Amino acid sequence: MGTPADLLVDARNVQRSLWPNLSSEQVLEGARRWAAGRGLRAVVVFDGRAPGDLVGERELDDDTVVVGTGRRTADDWLIDAAAERRAAGREFWLVTSDRALRDVAAVGAARTIGGGAFARELAGR
């Protein structure tokens, strides 16, 4: 069986797409469940620190990676991650409403999902 496609999630974008905002944990756990239900590997990227005060990447399990970008922006991290996957011929999906990010990172994505639509699915709205 091949490597699952990555679901690259712009976590803060999703988090702030609803009022009241979703918590970081809601975004992380929701993305994890959503991706697992579709046979995807969730890569949930937070500007700054991720839940657990994380800066850097941590594999939570075989199907979930959480990233805290520290001083780097999540947009820059996602642009690089998308480029790496394109270059390697690996399928990926992108979740963001950020137009500038979509213009660059969504090139070659199997699917792009808006942050608000994704947040509503996670929140059951």
Q: Residue 50: phi, psi to the nearest 5?
A: -90, 170
pLDDT digits over 57-112, tens only?
A: 999 998 999 999 999 999 999 999 999 999 999 999 999 999 999 999 999 999 99
Q: What separation in angstroms does the CA of 55 have from each of 32, 46, 50?
A: 19, 9, 7
* pLDDT score recorded for residue 2: 64
Query: Tens digits of per-residue pLDDT, 12-65?
Result: 999 999 999 999 999 999 999 999 999 999 999 999 999 999 999 999 998 999
Pairing type for strands 64-68 and 41-46 reads: parallel
Check: CB of residue 59 under 8 Å from CB of residue 43: no
Mind listing the domains of the chain with CATH numbers?
Answer: 6-123 (3.40.50.1010)
Would you place residue 125 in the very low, low, confident or very high pLDDT band (cuts 50, 70, 90)?
Answer: confident
**Residue appearing with tokens 């712009």:** 10
